[in-house]
Chain A
Amino acid sequence: MIKAILIFNNHGKPRLIRFYQYFAEDMQQQIIRETFHLVSKRDDNVCNFLEGGSLIGGSDYKLIYRHYATLYFVFCVDSSESELGILDLIQVFVETLDKCFENVCELDLIFHMDKVHYILQEVVMGGMVLETNMNEIVAQVELQNRMEKSEGGLSAAPARAVSAVKNMNLPEMPRNINIGDINIKVPSLSPF
């Protein structure tokens, strides 16, 4: 079982956290700090396994991590997982991110945390490895994205409209602008 998946950068700023066991928010932050502390002081040419910190798990748990450029990908797993297998899985996950974001970099993770979660959900579910075949993962993610697109996305219609409204130069606009097709219910207009 995987107990937690943490992604943070070289300064310990979390980019994605995914706990498969409940910890309160402050505890989560403490775990991130501790894990960062453990991982960050290690050279890049030492092994990728680390006996777990005191906060997360006990002797049965291991931290397995990889360091890519500015990001640490840390998996906390118990003894039922194969160490090298998890290392491979991290690689698969990162390659998948790379495919989905086209040359992934930290900024992608910063601004699209939700998307990263959705991709992760196709790899690991409830702490167990769901799929290891990258093509299958990418295919499922893309199918879901296409579905989202067909629904118009989270902010597609309204956001487009909003940015149009934001960008418009009011004095130059014609008086009778039709805002009927903005799909929002505008709250209480002033009486005048």
Chain B
Amino acid sequence: MALKIVKGSIDRMFDKNLQDLVRGIRNHKEEEAKYISTCIDEIKQELKQDNIAVKANAVCKLTYLQMLGYDVSWAAFNIVEVMSSSKFTYKRIGYLAASQCFHESTDVIMLTTNQIRKDLSSPNQYDTGVALTGLSCFVTPDLARDLANDIMTLMSHTKPYIRKKAVLIMYKVFLKYPESLRPAFPRLKEKLEDPDPGVQSAAVNVICELARRNPKNYLSLAPLFFKLMTSSTNNWVLIKIIKLFGALTPLEPRLGKKLIEPLTNLIHSTSAMSLLYECVNTVIAVLISLSSGMPNHSASIQLCVQKLRILIEDSDQNLKYLGLLAMSKILKTHPKSVQSHKDLILQCLDDKDESIRLRALDLLYGMVSKKNLMEIVKKLMLHVDKAEGTTYRDELLTKIIDICSQSNYQYITNFEWYISILVELTRLEGTRHGHLIASQMLDVAIRVKAIRGFAVAQMATLLDNAHLLTGNVQRKGICEVLYAAAWICGEFSEHLENPMQTLEAMLRPKVATLPGHIQAVYVQNAAKLFATVLKSGEGSADSTAAQEMMIERLPLFVQSANLEVQERASCILQLVKYIQKLQQKDVEIAEEVIALFAGELNPVAPKAQKKVPVPEGLDLDAWINEPPSESESEDEQPKAIFSKEEPKHSRPRHTEVDEKELAKRREARKQEQANNPFYIKASPSSQKVYQEAPGVEHIPVVQIDLTVPLKVPGLPMSDQYVKLEEERRQKDRADKKKKEKKKRKEKRSGRGKKHDSGPESEEDITPAHMVDIVTEEMPENALPSDDDDKDPNDPHKALDIDLDKPLADSEKLPVRSHRAAEVLKSPAEDGDAERSVSQEPKKKSSKEKKEKKKDKDRDRKKSKEEKKKKKHKHEDKGEDLLGGQEDEPVVQSEETSEVAAPPSSTTAEVSDLDFWLSNAPVPSNTQGAATVAAAAAADPVPEAASGAAPDSEPEEPKDTEAEETKSSKHKKKKQKKEKEEKEKKKKKKHHHHHRHSDAGGEESVQNGTVEEEEPLPPMSNYCLLAENSYIKMMLEDADQVNDIQGNLQDGSQVVVSVIFENKCESFLKSMEFNVLDSLNSKLQRPEGSGAHDGLTVPFQLPPGVSNEARFVFTMQSIVMPQKLKGTLTFIVKNEDSSTHEKLDFKLHFTCTSYLITTPCYSDAFAKLLESGDLKCSSVKLEGISMPFHHLLARICFHHHFSVVERIDSCASMYSRSIQGHHVCLLVKTSDQTVSIDAKCDEPTLLGNVLDEIKQTFSQC
């Protein structure tokens, strides 16, 4: 018995898993809803159980029900419970459910922050992965803010699986929490060069997505992407990059020029259609962006068009579609080349596939000319008749109107034809585009004066047959046309043949069923018509009849529910009654009535209102009255609203001014038109032509038979125009030929064969009548700016962030409090190695013990056991010194960089790009890049930089002297400090130049640390980098001491301090320091200065005085050495004269100068080596005779390394670059041969550093 109960309860809990549920639903097809509701009840029961497995099962079923459209948000809390299960199986179910049904307003999301954080840092990569995937679907601004830092850490995870997910999700984080973009961007950029292709592709994906929305901020990445494009073989990545370039080229046409060649190569070489297509697309974008032609410009266009033709002709409908799509982009700028494929495109219009027809329609837009417009439109009209779906038909309708009206009706030669087309279009059933047709009618009638007579006649017909348009419920949209018709008839009533009839049509009782705004226009224009009738014959039978009709019919409108109709009707009714009264007194009134509607309306440009400039001194946001106080009670609110609107009142004031001006201008124009013999006034002449023409009497244009329904049996009207037009043109042509013959007869020289019988050219077609197309009016001094119509609610707008500016201290991702300390300590908040470095010293001893056991296999530690203690003592010392002062240098250099050169990276950035775009040879692949780097590094490097090497030796003594004199002459506050430094420096110089320093190994190691200890890092390492060459060049009157030191805090900044010393007897002033920026590095200039402006040195130099200035450079990539050419200009002032002087110099940034001496514990070092992220490389130095400790000291000193451990003739060394690359060396020596094995996560950098080290020793 008990067992049965147990079974029952188990049954209840477990009767259904997901499969059972699905099966059940399939078995209950008739009563699915009922079945599901019982299932939901069961699920609710299951969710009440304590067992997590039961809950997970229930949540899994809910996910399925959610797909069927059931709201499952009530179970949100249970979903969170399942998410927090420790088992992967359940966690996955929970996260899946959450990703399907959580959204920003789900309140339980805020409970998940800690759970997600825990999962993100889980040791199991799939826990982390599942959390990332889930989070990507429901990240909220709060989650983004709280978790940004955790996710950023994951971007450097050891597993590529996690890295790529972390990289991708950053995009979502940026969207929700834009502040994170700048702090995270450097690392994101790093991931572009991740060894794992998946991670790389993810990074490309994210940056492309960011750049698509705000391309200008990413222009500076173009060189990097260019490199990727030429080196990557992953089509996905290539497609993304190529698409990105398509977005960037409009901003920088020069980029396009650079792209054309590789893209063309890709087009020729690739077999992947998707890639080919994107290449063609981007080439098109490039060609669009290039304003002026380039040599092989037309060749590229031809190539594109040719490839696209192949696509369009392909039997694969997809390719056909895409081909047409791309073709339409070419069309905008190179219509000629597309027009040659007209046959193909017209063929596509008949395709059975609607998508393809739509694309072909787009293309037609650009294919029309004066010659073929009628023919193409005729074809489209046929399609309109055939089209079954309303969407496609509406599309056709808008296209016809677009095609005809494009560029100010450029291609229309016969407006009567166009009007009849418009009238024909009104026959369309159920179109939504009535207003479009109406506005076209209005536009044409207003702007083409010659056509008014014809238009009015047609509109009168329309009005008369209004019942055809309004009869059907389906035709609601089209009755908009009546609005236009009524207005045209009223406004240009002087052209009406029979105004009485039209007036009658406008006042029919049935009009009252039309929408209010149309009725209002009817009433108003009835009044206009009345005025015309009155004028045509006061007192005549017509005018009396009209008067009676008005008085009789208007009361219908007075009763209208529509305010506008009612108001106008009663106003006009009273007016008519008053006129009647006056007429009974025999007063001539017609002129006065006409005066009511005098004047002509001009079309106003759609943006005219926006472009009215705000007059100077007018602040639209300023309060006119005292702003309402905050504490206003609620009943005062209406008042507040009123005063809010107050500022708007200032608008009418200046539009009034404009109106006056407009009136003035209108007057002037009238004058001008009256005096202009070429201005053709409206005349019905064209109609007469038709009347007289033989064989066209049946055209209903003139003899408007008012009983004829709109649909003319037989040919539609427009077709007749096509025929007519054809005839006319033939006649024209014949005339021309005659004329030409005459001409030829006249002068027999016979130069005019070119006009002969060839195909009709555009110019040959003369319009049927001269038309004056009135241009749209714009306010005077309209603002030229094209208002960008960006949607203010676009989430991507928040991401419009300048990424090139250096990070400010405040820009850090929020970190949980207990971690904050740690982050502060490690300047670049880096990977594992970094963390362990910044761990507290007290932990060290235990760690080292551990390490002892662990690292026995390492050969360099073979005999370390007894030496170790000693070493530790030493290291301790170094570390302690460091511990006290670690932060100081950072702060200092940051400070100075701000003082010396306020960052102005945007301009500098652009100029860097300039350089890349203008002349820098771009390596075609990474390997090429490496060789270039190697070549550069082959120059004599550290001490005697660049080509000045041979001269450098003899200069040295002088140099030291200069140093000595300097130290006595410095006058600034830091004098004392500098003295100390000078002394140290001297010591060092001796030490390495004369090579008989007896500094022992211990000491030399200290050398490295001593540097750290100095309060001014930029001064600390005067390694005579490029000093000699400067001196040589500056023999005249100045003296520069140069030192390059990376800025620890910002991964891309390098501070260069230069000491200027005046060595002559004259006063030096107006010194300007300028460097020609390179692709990679640029001088930071103050905001607002141009890319090539120099920096003013902030002091003047009296004779014999020296001073120091610092300049900040921003580096893109630090993996290669750099050489920058620069100039110092200054004025030398004597008592009587002053001369401009100039001094050229070369700044050499070696890769070494990007390294920062960073201490590293041996255990952290070992961990780093083990991590497997580092690339290996090695170098052998022959014939080195110096003692080993000496050798180490040199490496430490010149290349900013620190010794990690040293055992006999073997030592491990470590350094870090400013961008956080780890560089590890293992130096071994055995009689005269030194072998250096090196590891670094950046192979190029490593190669260059090794080359530089080699160079150092080859100098000895």
Q: Per DSSP, are chain B's interface residues mostly helix, strand or loop, or mixed?
A: helix
Q: Which single member of A26, A80, A136, A190 contacts B69 (CB below 8 Å)?
A: A26
Contacts of B171 in A (CB 8 A): 126, 128
CA distance A114 to B92 in the complex (A): 10
Given contacts A51-B355, A117-B96, A189-B2, contact A154 B57 (CB under 8 A): yes
Determine whether the beta carbon of B69 is less than 8 Å from that of A125.
no
Given contacts A114-B18, A151-B88, A155-B57, contact A80 B212 (CB under 8 A): yes
Closest to B48 in A: A187
Query: What's the nearest-Cβ distance from chain B to residue A46, in Å?
Result: 4
Query: What's the nearest-Cβ distance from chain A to residue B688, in Å?
Result: 47
CA distance A127 to B5 in the complex (A): 49
Closest to A20 in B: B137
Closest to A89 in B: B236
Determine whether the beta carbon of A187 is less than 8 Å from that of B49.
yes
Determine whether the beta carbon of B273 is less than 8 Å from that of A43.
no
Q: Decide yes or no whether B104 CB sits under 8 A from chain A.
A: yes
Q: Which single member of B4, B70, B198, B208 contacts A170 (CB below 8 Å)?
A: B4
Query: What's the nearest-Cβ distance from chain B to residue A79, in Å?
Result: 8
CA distance A192 to B355 in the complex (A): 73
Q: Which of B292-325 contact A (CB under 8 A)?
A: 317-318, 320-322
Q: Decide yes or no whether A16 CB sits under 8 A from chain B.
A: yes
Q: Which single member of A14, A130, A177 contacts B68 (CB below 8 Å)?
A: A14
Q: Decide yes or no whether B7 CB sits under 8 A from chain A.
A: yes
Contacts of A184 in B (CB 8 A): 10, 13, 51, 53-54
Determine whether the beta carbon of A165 is less than 8 Å from that of B239.
no
Query: What's the nearest-Cβ distance from chain B to residue A125, in Å?
Result: 5
Determine whether the beta carbon of B53 is less than 8 Å from that of A84.
no
Query: What's the nearest-Cβ distance from chain B to residue A62, in Å?
Result: 10
Contacts of B49 in A (CB 8 A): 185, 187
Contacts of A82 in B (CB 8 A): 239, 243, 274, 277-278
Determine whether the beta carbon of A49 is less than 8 Å from that of B126.
no
Q: Decide yes or no whether B1080 CB sits under 8 A from chain A.
A: no
Q: Decide yes or no whether B87 CB sits under 8 A from chain A.
A: yes
Q: Decide yes or no whether A105 CB sits under 8 A from chain B.
A: no
CA distance A82 to B240 in the complex (A): 8
CA distance A42 to B103 in the complex (A): 34
Contact-residue bracket for chain A:
35 or more
Q: Decide yes or no whether B1022 CB sits under 8 A from chain A.
A: no
Q: Which of A134-192 contact B (CB under 8 A)?
A: 136, 140, 143-144, 147-148, 151-155, 158-159, 161-162, 165-166, 170, 173, 177, 179, 182-187, 189-190, 192
CA distance A114 to B235 in the complex (A): 30
Q: Decide yes or no whether A103 CB sits under 8 A from chain B.
A: no
Q: Which single member of B168, B202, B355 contacts A49 (CB below 8 Å)?
A: B355
Stretch from B59-67, B1088-1096, B1173-1181 contacting the other chain: B59-67
Q: Which single member of B2, B11, B17, B236 contacts A129 (CB below 8 Å)?
A: B236
A8-25 CB mask vs B (1 if < 8 Å, else 0) is: 000000101110101011
CA distance A177 to B71 in the complex (A): 42
How many A-B contacts at CB < 8 Å in the complex? 196
Q: Which of A86-121 contact B (CB under 8 A)?
A: 87-88, 110-114, 117-118, 121
Contacts of B60 in A (CB 8 A): 114, 154
Determine whether the beta carbon of B278 is less than 8 Å from that of A80.
no
Closest to A22 in B: B103
Determine whether the beta carbon of A165 is less than 8 Å from that of B10.
yes
CA distance A151 to B90 in the complex (A): 10
CA distance A183 to B7 in the complex (A): 14
Q: Decide yes or no whether A40 CB sits under 8 A from chain B.
A: no
CA distance A30 to B63 in the complex (A): 18
Q: Which of B961-996 contact A (CB under 8 A)?
A: none
Determine whether the beta carbon of B274 is less than 8 Å from that of A85.
yes
CA distance A90 to B1035 in the complex (A): 70
Contacts of A185 in B (CB 8 A): 49-51
Query: What's the nearest-Cβ distance from chain B to residue A118, in Å?
Result: 7
Contacts of B54 in A (CB 8 A): 184
Contacts of B88 in A (CB 8 A): 144, 147-148, 151
Contacts of A45 in B (CB 8 A): 317
Contacts of A51 in B (CB 8 A): 355, 358
Determine whether the beta carbon of B51 is less than 8 Å from that of A111.
no
Contacts of B3 in A (CB 8 A): 170, 173, 177
Q: Which single member of B50, B57, B133 contacts A125 (CB below 8 Å)?
A: B133
Q: Which single member of B9, B64, B168, B212 contacts A130 (CB below 8 Å)?
A: B168
Determine whether the beta carbon of B317 is less than 8 Å from that of A84.
no
Determine whether the beta carbon of A113 is less than 8 Å from that of B318.
no
CA distance A56 to B55 in the complex (A): 34
Determine whether the beta carbon of A154 is less than 8 Å from that of B89.
yes
Q: Which of B780-819 contact A (CB under 8 A)?
A: none
Contacts of B10 in A (CB 8 A): 161-162, 165, 182, 184, 186
Query: What's the nearest-Cβ distance from chain B to residue A91, in Å?
Result: 12
Q: Which single member of B18, B19, B23, B136 contacts A126 (CB below 8 Å)?
A: B136
Determine whether the beta carbon of B2 is less than 8 Å from that of A126.
no
Q: Decide yes or no whether B1228 CB sits under 8 A from chain A.
A: no
B72-90 CB mask vs A (1 if < 8 Å, else 0) is: 0000000000000001111
Query: What's the nearest-Cβ distance from chain B to residue A52, in Å?
Result: 12
Q: Decide yes or no whether B206 CB sits under 8 A from chain A.
A: yes
Q: Which of B268-304 contact A (CB under 8 A)?
A: 273-274, 277-278
Given contacts A82-B277, A128-B168, A186-B6, contact A113 B67 (CB under 8 A): yes
Determine whether the beta carbon of B17 is less than 8 Å from that of A154.
yes
Determine whether the beta carbon of A140 is less than 8 Å from that of B318.
no
CA distance A162 to B356 in the complex (A): 57
Determine whether the beta carbon of A190 is less than 8 Å from that of B239.
no
Q: Decide yes or no whether B132 CB sits under 8 A from chain A.
A: yes
With a 10 A CB-CB cut-off, give which of A28, A126, A154, A155 has the most chain B CB atoms. A126
Q: Which of A51-90 contact B (CB under 8 A)?
A: 51, 80, 82-85, 87-88
Contacts of B56 in A (CB 8 A): 154
Given contacts A125-B169, A155-B53, A189-B6, contact A84 B322 (CB under 8 A): yes
B215-247 CB mask vs A (1 if < 8 Å, else 0) is: 000000000000000000001100100010000
Q: Decide yes or no whether B14 CB sits under 8 A from chain A.
A: yes
Determine whether the beta carbon of B321 is less than 8 Å from that of A125.
no
CA distance A132 to B198 in the complex (A): 9
CA distance A133 to B164 in the complex (A): 13
CA distance A165 to B274 in the complex (A): 57
Determine whether the beta carbon of B208 is less than 8 Å from that of A80.
yes
Q: Which single member of A42, A132, A192 contacts B236 (CB below 8 Å)?
A: A132
CA distance A87 to B775 in the complex (A): 47
CA distance A88 to B17 in the complex (A): 34
CA distance A140 to B352 in the complex (A): 43
Query: What's the nearest-Cβ distance from chain B to residue A162, in Å?
Result: 4
CA distance A88 to B1190 in the complex (A): 61
B1-43 CB mask vs A (1 if < 8 Å, else 0) is: 1111111011101100111001100100000000000000000
Closest to A190 in B: B5
CA distance A161 to B750 in the complex (A): 107
- 22 residue pairs of the A-B complex, CB under 8 angstroms, read A14-B68, A25-B66, A49-B321, A51-B358, A80-B243, A84-B273, A85-B239, A110-B22, A112-B18, A114-B93, A118-B92, A125-B133, A125-B168, A128-B168, A128-B209, A136-B198, A143-B126, A144-B126, A147-B89, A154-B93, A184-B53, A189-B2
Complex A-B, nearest 6 residue pairs according to Cβ-Cβ distance, in ascending order: A126-B136, A84-B274, A47-B317, A22-B103, A46-B353, A29-B69
14 new A-B contacts at CB < 8 Å, known A46-B317, A130-B164, A189-B9? A28-B69, A47-B320, A48-B317, A49-B318, A51-B358, A84-B318, A113-B64, A114-B18, A125-B133, A128-B202, A128-B205, A130-B168, A159-B17, A184-B13
Q: Which residues of A contact B (CB under 8 A)?
A: 1, 14, 16-18, 20, 22, 24-26, 28-29, 42-43, 45-51, 80, 82-85, 87-88, 110-114, 117-118, 121, 125-133, 136, 140, 143-144, 147-148, 151-155, 158-159, 161-162, 165-166, 170, 173, 177, 179, 182-187, 189-190, 192
